[in-house]
Structure 1
Amino acid sequence: MTRTVLKLRPRDYWRIGEHESWFSDMAANGLHLKKMGIHFAKFAKAEPKKMRYRIDVSINKKMSQDQIQLYAENGWHYVTSFNNFHVFSSPEELDAPELHTDPAEQSYTLQDFDRKLVKNAVTVAVSTIILVGLLLSTWFLFKTPILLLVKWDIVQQTILAIFCVYLAYNSIQASSSIRVLRQNLLEGKPINHRAPWKKYYKIRNLIAFGFIALVGLSAAIPFAQLYKMETNNLPETNNALPIVRLADIEDDSNLIQDKSSYSHDNIDWENSYSYYWSPLAPIQYDTYEQGLISDKQWHDKSGDYTPSIQTQVYQLSIPSLSDKLIEDLTKKYHHFNHEPLIEKTHPDLDQLIVQEEVDMKQIFASKGNRVMYVQYYGYAEIDAIVDNVVEKISVKIED
């Protein structure tokens, strides 16, 4: 039984001379080409033999039987095809005449294929430009790149865009290489059938493996995020979560949770906390709490006093991102309000920025690799909120 061996083939199919040289070297080591695939070549293991290989290019993916028969009569036996490339072999001792003895004539066999590659390159390049343009508009429209990275909202699309740029580069390079090959043939320069392939083979496959790993990682991370993500109802009594609670700042024994009329999957979304994960922020909390003090009114007499608070917590894997993350958070949430942001110093925080209106307060704080954002609606003093931020930003979080 003939044993078959798979080998990762050279990535750039248009490098004809290098492929021919690779096939010959494999045959000299006892591996004889049987089939070519997108990424791998299949070889039959047999006795080492000195073989010559030639690749003929046609506009059609299948070569006619008449052409195959003509080449066979001249000592060249059909082996396999991949895309528009057809491989023939002949024992070296047979000294079979070349498939194409006139380089200028051979250049014309590449004419239709050249046009096809140009068309493909233009299509891929235009599509890539549109994709990259849409991606860049997302980056610059929201103006919060670090926040997008931390939440991993746009990383996968960025990796996909990089991969598309790589494919576009390959398409353009293929078209350019065939155009150069045609020009060389027209000038009477034949293909170098023993072109060196080893160094380029290793470099290109290393790049290909890198992109495969990158794309695979980008595809796996969203599944990891979904697996780790969870949302639960916020307990009425205090808990160990690293968040500021209404009970911590309202100081009113009549405070109760104001249950939402909207719930889904048994979750009260106005009194809930969600846990998220990403490589840049492996621990993230996003919480909402709505309170009710029925014997107290809003100052404008619009109804019962219903304070609310939202807390976002990020524990970063790269502490140096903290300042940039706070900068992005202020860009995202400041434009909803009219009062200026005020940067303050605090002995227990690396950075503290506050914004205060009559019934609304915002706090942006960081310490080490921890960043916290608090948005509060109610009449509690801002100092009480800051004191709780200082306390909760240091709470140990179990992953």
Structure 2
Amino acid sequence: MAYIRRLIPCAPYEIKIFEAWLEELAEKEGLFLVSCRRAIAKFEKGTPKPMRYRVDADPDRCWDPSQERQQLYEEFGWKYIDNRSEHLVVYGTDDFSLPELHTDAELQLETLGKLQKKCLRRALLVFCLFPLWLLLHISAGNWLYWLHHSALISAFVLLLFFYFLDTTKEIRQLQKLKKQIFEETDVTETEDFHKAKRKLLLRTCCRITAEVLLFLLLLSPFWIQNWNERIPLSAQNSTELPTLSPAAFGSHKTLSDSSYFSYYTSFLAPVQYEIFQISDDFYLDTQYFQCQSEFLSESIGKTYLMTEADNNLNKTETQTLADGTKLEYRAKDFQNYLVIQKGSRILLLKSYTEIDLWENREKFLPLLDKTYSLPEET
């Protein structure tokens, strides 16, 4: 026998819309439900006739109700058809003289309440663990990880957002059903399932788009370049690199072969350079960001100081120049940090040596005025 398949126009928790859709297909098109799991419903073609379909909320987590439950319902004239989800079971009958599927209001409220609590726990678990995970990484000094993978994380957060919308809507819908049962109002009233179908398709398209974007970002790291590539400073003869020789600080040290720079691009900070200048008793780490916005560059500076220089400080200094350039300095023990930010551009400087970044801040100011570009590929 050939079956006809249709896309289900509503989410599983939109129970009344689903029931109305099934009843209209049976009465007008002669399509009688055979199975309805996931997003596709399968129908058997027959002579059009009125039907009654009801979705029962089963507190037991299973894909098939127990034989005792099926037998009990069949004795009252309701035939088990299929599960809409692991908790929602579909029954049908063509006898309009039968009473409604449920007669015990307390049992209905208890079942819907269990489903609602499960939805709430699921939502709280995801949206409590993710911010905690993010906070632990940032507080541990791994905040650059989030900037490096900003496109990937944005797609993941977008998926969480759609998940949150669906979960909260499910909770509200279950609460609405509980209220109707408690107040003994007519629960057969329903929304237009054609309108519900348009909303569902829009949500599904947005979610699939986010899933595809996440999948592509996982497979093809186009948001980041030369993540592990470290190029010796001597191999890049460019005046555009934000470097300062030890001589600029009155030192006669020679840079070691371990001095290098690396660079990458990301979604939120299109260009970043990391320049390490190392020799005996000389260490200077310079990070340059060309960000998407001034807000992001300021956030990078605040996060950098919060994670790198957060306690046991010996000295703090701040300064705002006439052209809007902001300087912020922190020093503790043998470490000192300097943040120079102007508009969407920002420099983060760190030194573990005798170099006093604050006293030499004027030497670093011209670095922000340089033209930065990705090195030519060799």
Name the TM-score, length of structure 2 as normaliser: 0.71
Conserved in 2, the CA contact under 8 Å of 1:114 and 1:179? yes
In structure 2, the CA distance between the partners of 1:79 and 1:215, relative to structure 1 (3 Å rule), is same
Conserved in 2, the CA contact under 8 Å of 1:18 and 1:197? yes
How far is the alpha carbon of 1:372 from its aligned partner?
1.9
The equivalent of 2:81 in structure 1 is 79
The equivalent of 1:131 in structure 2 is 129
C-alpha distance in structure 1 between counterparts of 2:100 and 2:146, whole Å? 57
How far is the alpha carbon of 1:89 from its aligned partner?
4.5
Tell me whether 15-24 or 273-282 shows the greater mean CA deviation. 273-282
How far is the alpha carbon of 1:54 from its aligned partner?
0.8
C-alpha distance in structure 2 between counterparts of 1:177 and 1:356, whole Å? 55
Tell me whether 160-169 or 195-204 shows the greater mean CA deviation. 160-169
For residue 371 of structure 1, the aligned residue among 333, 343, 346 is 346
How far is the alpha carbon of 1:7 from its aligned partner?
0.9
Q: Could you list the per-position Cα deviations for residues 191-237 of structure 1 after superposition, in whole angstroms to 9, with x for gaps in the alignment?
A: 41765323344335534543554465456546537863233142335
**1:276 correspondence with 2:275:** no
For residue 386 of structure 1, the aligned residue among 333, 342, 364 is 364
Sequence identity, in percent? 17
**1:353 correspondence with 2:319:** no
How far is the alpha carbon of 1:96 from its aligned partner?
2.0
**1:395 correspondence with 2:369:** no
Structure 2 counterpart of 1:127, which letter? Answer: L
How far is the alpha carbon of 1:254 from its aligned partner?
6.3
> Match of 2:245, SS?
helix
Tell me whether 127-136 or 173-182 shows the greater mean CA deviation. 127-136
> Match of 1:245, SS?
coil
How far is the alpha carbon of 1:308 from its aligned partner?
1.4
Q: Could you list the per-position Cα deviations for residues 227-276 of structure 1 after superposition, in whole angstroms to 9, with x for gaps in the alignment?
A: 632331423355338543243754889643335xxxxxxxx5xx343333
Conserved in 1, the CA contact under 8 Å of 2:295 and 2:344? yes
**1:321 correspondence with 2:296:** yes
C-alpha distance in structure 2 between counterparts of 1:209 and 1:149, whole Å? 27
List runs of 5+ in structure 1 lacking aligned partners.
260-267, 293-305
C-alpha distance in structure 2 between counterparts of 1:175 and 1:194, whole Å? 14
Conserved in 2, the CA contact under 8 Å of 1:276 and 1:285? yes
C-alpha distance in structure 2 between counterparts of 1:162 and 1:103, whole Å? 36
The equivalent of 1:18 in structure 2 is 17
Q: Could you list the per-position Cα deviations for residues 351-379 of structure 1 after superposition, in whole angstroms to 9, with x for gaps in the alignment?
A: 14164989976543345533222234455
How far is the alpha carbon of 1:10 from its aligned partner?
1.0
Structure 2 counterpart of 1:54, which letter? Answer: Y
Structure 1 counterpart of 2:325, which letter? Answer: Q
In structure 2, the CA distance between the partners of 1:160 and 1:198, relative to structure 1 (3 Å rule), is closer
The 5 A counterparts of 1:339-350 are 339-345=315-321, 350=324
In structure 2, the CA distance between the partners of 1:127 and 1:356, relative to structure 1 (3 Å rule), is closer
List runs of 5+ in structure 2 lacking aligned partners.
none
The 5 A counterparts of 1:139-158 are 150-152=147-149
Structure 2 counterpart of 1:79, which letter? Answer: I
